[in-house]
Structure 1
Amino acid sequence: MERESRGQLNSSLLAEETNSAESLKGGSSATAVLVFSTFIAVCGSYVFGATVNLGLSEGQYSVFASIMTIGAMLGALMSGKVADLVGRRGAMGISEAFCLTGWLAIAFSQAAWLLDIGRLFGGCGVGLLSYVVPVYIAEITPKNLRGGFATVHQFMVTFGSAMTYFVGTVVSWRILALIGAIPCLIQLLGLFLIPESPRWLAKVGKENECEDALQRLRGVNADISQEATEIEDYIEALQQLPEGSILELFQRIYARSLIIAVGLMLLQQFGGSNAIAFYASSIFEKAGFSATVGTVVMAVVQIPMTVLGVLLMDKLGRRPLLMASASGTFFGCLLVGVSFSLQDIQWWKDVTPVLVFIGLVIYNGSFGLGLGGIPWLIMSEIFPINMKGSAGSLVSLVNWFSSWIITYIFNFLMDWYSAGTFFIFASIGGLTVIFVAKMVPETKGRTLEEIQVIINPLTAKR
């Protein structure tokens, strides 16, 4: 019976793919409800960036900073299950309750332990947000707009991080924490005004609510019949399959999705992303360049590059942007590595600090172009909805755990061999280009159901 249902699902989606491809050029437009729903969702992304950046201005991965990462791992571990049980809106509400509690605990703390508790709660919220925001946006957005809308998540993470840094230079940390609570409140209130994910509603058997939500998102005059039918047919076939657990992710039919999602997260983190962000000040100081100038320029450059990624996502596609982004991180790290090597042998001592600065700016800008946000977008696209909760928890946990590892060992690596550290990061950037070229499919312009035909056919071949 399971093989038969998988085969029926695959056949029906292949037949629908032709009809969907014919309507691709026209696509769907961005309605006011869709834009507003995305805005409310990415308020959580802003909180993500602000929470990560708080307390890292000194460039030291302190206990205060590491507690946030531990909390994020806990949040990531329960993110998929929470989003499946209470819905995407419910999960965002729970995450913001964690974040709001964390900000207020920090703002009104009278003892060090309360600061740590606040940081832990904020981390739990961020771990949930890092999964549910891109998933919600991917599930509410039409295929021709999904890439650009989903990439707004990374833009708001970047913007939240940059604004926290800039505002933190002129206000106290208590005021900064209170400011951080504002987008939490905006999202909590906004969640009452936006529709739930139609795909989640269909998954839990609320077909009428699914169609109502889809109609609100696409516009009152839009014809949603084809999209609603595709969603409902796909969910109906999936309901004949068991609800996915983390152990079931390791079946052969999900192998490619798991390799792609976990691989991209590992390459993103071990390519140096959070390590460079957290330790930017100390890297500039070691190179002999102004830490203040360097970190400000890095923050400023990443914002327009992330905007460029948003604009190009649904024009060029995920693969070209990922490969261009990874190529840029490769070149940036290579330049920094060469600069530290020249410093070690006392060559071009007046030039090498500037070369380190240029290399890190190239790295940060290139990372914002695609590697920062696209892995989260692809993670939200490539798993079937019956496995999305378990897969999201596992993949988010891998991301945060690898982030903790690389940020923890970064100082040891720099003490061992500064140039070698960046040569390692550069080699991982090059490996990312190869990995994307060989493993990652192009998902631009396809519905989430069509993507499953390509990457997880859900059929047992004999």
Structure 2
Amino acid sequence: MATDQDMETCESGLQQETREPLIQYGEDGDRKSTNEHLWMVYLSTFVAVTGSFEFGSCVGFSSPVESDIRTDLKLSITEYSVFGSILTFGAMLGASTSGTIADFLGRKAAMRMSAIFCIVGWLAVYFAKGYLSLDIGRLCMGYGMGIYSYVVPIFIAEIAPKDLRGGLTTINQLMICTGVSFSFIVGAVLTWRTLALIGIIPCLAMVVGLFFIPESPRWLAKMGHRKEFEAALQKLRGKDADISQEEAEIQDYIDTLEKLPKTKMWDLFQKRYSRSVMVGVGLMVIQQFGGINAVCFYTSQIFLSAGFPTKVGTVSYACIQVVITIFGVFLMDKAGRRPLLLVSTAGLVLACLLVAASFFLQVHELAPAAVPGLAVSGILGYIGFFSVGMGAVPWVTMSEIFPINIKGVAGSMATLVNWIGAWTISFTFNFLMAWSSYGTFLLYAAVNALSILFIVKYLPETKGRTLEQIQADINK
């Protein structure tokens, strides 16, 4: 059985003695320019993020079509709440099996499987005559989403050069937001069955695209497929590129990685990992329980309840989400994680209070002319402040604070907690609104206020620090 000292030795060796794989270096140790060979990296990334777009399309589907589906299929609030929230239940199942599928079958096979589940789900929704078919379809879509949420960023990170890895990986989050926005905008003008058919298009694009891109070289090396590994790396770097040194570095990395002891779930509760696990899981809790999936899944219902035109509101929501997410990507490494999260969370508190105020005035029949304005200001402010920080920072921070030997297990646990939170919020929203519309958003405001205290007390600033520095500080 490996001791803590053995584990630290392995971690240190992995961090210090191996250089970043999938990078070409010259004789002087400097990275060689590979821009002329990057077209395959870009194509592979594009194919992968069609899954991210599909992810967003699935998430955004339920909001703009709620009134039409409930009218056409005569669904109760409870039945539609199950339909809206079962997506996240399916995603929990997908996320819990995604690592095993991607490791056993490969990254491309996992993405292909996700696409098939989503296609089946969309077809079940399109042909639905009642709530049962709707729920089965939504569950299948959720399962595919859960796999996408793991395998897409992993695949991109494993094929991209170091100097492009951050930018290419963030395209995953941007495309999710774009998919959500697309569903909001198109759903405002098309029927829900047509929107379901359109949801199949990204899946078909991925299935076709996967035939033209290589498998992850790192996965092939890990599985011992030497010839396929060399061929994939050559295809990514260009037919005339010298991959000999890079090939050796990848193999050295894999050999060193396999020397680390296999981590079990209960190992995460060791004292040396307690703070990193608390921060990683805590960020997922505050991200979800601040109400994001309630706002995302039921935007049109919130606008309708407040007396604001739903189509205008959902289109505005969609546009703001994409623009602010792009802005947040540029701020990530300039402003720092903590400042972005603090500004984001403080804004979420204010936004929730604005929505709560609008519903309070509506319930008590006070200042009716102010109700729609407060509601739309609150909802658009909510998605703007969420997109600038709380949307992406928890995922970035989670990837930074876990030591490499527990990263897989700890990351899976944090992801599962995130989906559990998403399901809880999306399922309970309609019931909370029936209890008290303004009380619901006061609860979300309170959670976001407590989140500020959590961030101030526990979250380390990771901007400009190496992974070794971050993990040494947080786990000491």
Q: Shorter-chain TM-score: what band?
A: 0.7 to 0.9
8 Å contact kept, 1:72–1:126: yes
| SS in structure 1 of the partner of residue 66 of structure 2 | coil
Matched, 1:287 2:306: yes
Aligned to 2:73: none
Q: Is the deviation greater in 270-279 or in 173-182?
A: 173-182
Tell me which amino acid in the other structure corresponds to 1:194. Answer: I
Aligned to 1:104: 123
Aligned to 1:48: 55
Matched, 1:64 2:86: no
Q: Is the deviation greater in 86-95 or in 334-343?
A: 334-343
Tell me which amino acid in the other structure corresponds to 1:6. Answer: E
8 Å contact kept, 1:127–1:396: no
Tell me which amino acid in the other structure corresponds to 1:251. Answer: Q
Matched, 1:268 2:287: yes
Matched, 1:307 2:326: yes
Distance in 2 (alpha carbons) for counterparts of 1:259 and 1:442: 15
Aligned to 2:470: 454
Q: Is the deviation greater in 417-426 or in 378-387?
A: 378-387
Distance in 2 (alpha carbons) for counterparts of 1:23 and 1:101: 50
Residue among 383, 392, 402 paired with 1:373: 392
Residue among 158, 181, 184 paired with 2:203: 184
Aligned to 2:71: none
| SS in structure 2 of the partner of residue 156 of structure 1 | helix
- CA offset digits 1:410-460 (Å, max 9, x no partner): 2333344433332332333344444445544555677xxx5256327999x
- CA offset digits 1:249-306 (Å, max 9, x no partner): 3334443443233222211110110011122223223333233322221122111112
Distance in 2 (alpha carbons) for counterparts of 1:153 and 1:280: 23
- Residues 385, 351 of structure 1: CA spacing in aligned structure 2 closer, same or farther, 3 A cutoff? same
Q: Give, in angstroms, the shift of residue 41 of structure 1.
A: 1.2
Aligned to 1:38: 45
Q: Give, in angstroms, the shift of residue 331 of structure 1.
A: 2.6
Aligned to 2:96: 77
Distance in 2 (alpha carbons) for counterparts of 1:116 and 1:445: 45
- Residues 331, 382 of structure 1: CA spacing in aligned structure 2 closer, same or farther, 3 A cutoff? same
Which structure ranks higher in relative contact order (CA pairs < 8 Å, sequence separation ≥ 6)?
A: 1
Matched, 1:137 2:156: yes
8 Å contact kept, 2:118–2:141: yes
Identity %: 49
Aligned to 1:414: 433
Over aligned residue pairs, what C-alpha RMSD do you find? 3.7
Tell me which amino acid in the other structure corresponds to 2:117. Answer: F
Aligned to 1:7: 9
Q: Give, in angstroms, the shift of residue 388 of structure 1.
A: 4.5
| SS in structure 2 of the partner of residue 350 of structure 1 | helix
Matched, 1:163 2:182: yes
Q: Give, in angstroms, the shift of residue 124 of structure 1.
A: 0.8
Stretches of structure 1 that go unaligned for 5 or more consecutive residues are none
- Residues 342, 174 of structure 1: CA spacing in aligned structure 2 closer, same or farther, 3 A cutoff? closer
Distance in 2 (alpha carbons) for counterparts of 1:24 and 1:442: 29
Distance in 1 (alpha carbons) for counterparts of 2:40 and 2:237: 8
Q: Give, in angstroms, the shift of residue 158 of structure 1.
A: 2.0
Tell me which amino acid in the other structure corresponds to 1:119. Answer: R
Distance in 1 (alpha carbons) for counterparts of 2:409 and 2:377: 41
8 Å contact kept, 1:151–1:374: no
The count of residues paired between Structure 1 and Structure 2 equals 455
Tell me which amino acid in the other structure corresponds to 2:268. Answer: L
Q: Give, in angstroms, the shift of residue 139 of structure 1.
A: 3.4
Q: Give, in angstroms, the shift of residue 390 of structure 1.
A: 3.4
8 Å contact kept, 2:345–2:386: yes
- CA offset digits 1:295-340 (Å, max 9, x no partner): 2211221111122223444554544443433333233223323444
- Residues 12, 79 of structure 1: CA spacing in aligned structure 2 closer, same or farther, 3 A cutoff? closer
Aligned to 1:394: 413
Distance in 1 (alpha carbons) for counterparts of 2:303 and 2:273: 43
Distance in 1 (alpha carbons) for counterparts of 2:43 and 2:409: 28
8 Å contact kept, 2:84–2:427: no
Tell me which amino acid in the other structure corresponds to 1:37. Answer: S
Distance in 2 (alpha carbons) for counterparts of 1:206 and 1:419: 58
Aligned to 2:379: 360
Stretches of structure 2 that go unaligned for 5 or more consecutive residues are 68-76
TM-score (norm 1): 0.83
Distance in 1 (alpha carbons) for counterparts of 2:8 and 2:229: 23
Q: Give, in angstroms, the shift of residue 221 of structure 1.
A: 7.6
Tell me which amino acid in the other structure corresponds to 2:66. Answer: E
Distance in 2 (alpha carbons) for counterparts of 1:274 and 1:196: 33
- Residues 437, 199 of structure 1: CA spacing in aligned structure 2 closer, same or farther, 3 A cutoff? farther
Distance in 2 (alpha carbons) for counterparts of 1:226 and 1:370: 39
8 Å contact kept, 1:80–1:391: no
Q: Is the deviation greater in 436-445 or in 121-130?
A: 436-445
- Residues 434, 226 of structure 1: CA spacing in aligned structure 2 closer, same or farther, 3 A cutoff? farther
Q: Is the deviation greater in 201-210 or in 37-46?
A: 201-210
Residue among 111, 117, 123 paired with 1:92: 111
- CA offset digits 1:167-213 (Å, max 9, x no partner): 23444433322221111111122223333334434444457765665
Distance in 1 (alpha carbons) for counterparts of 2:104 and 2:473: 26
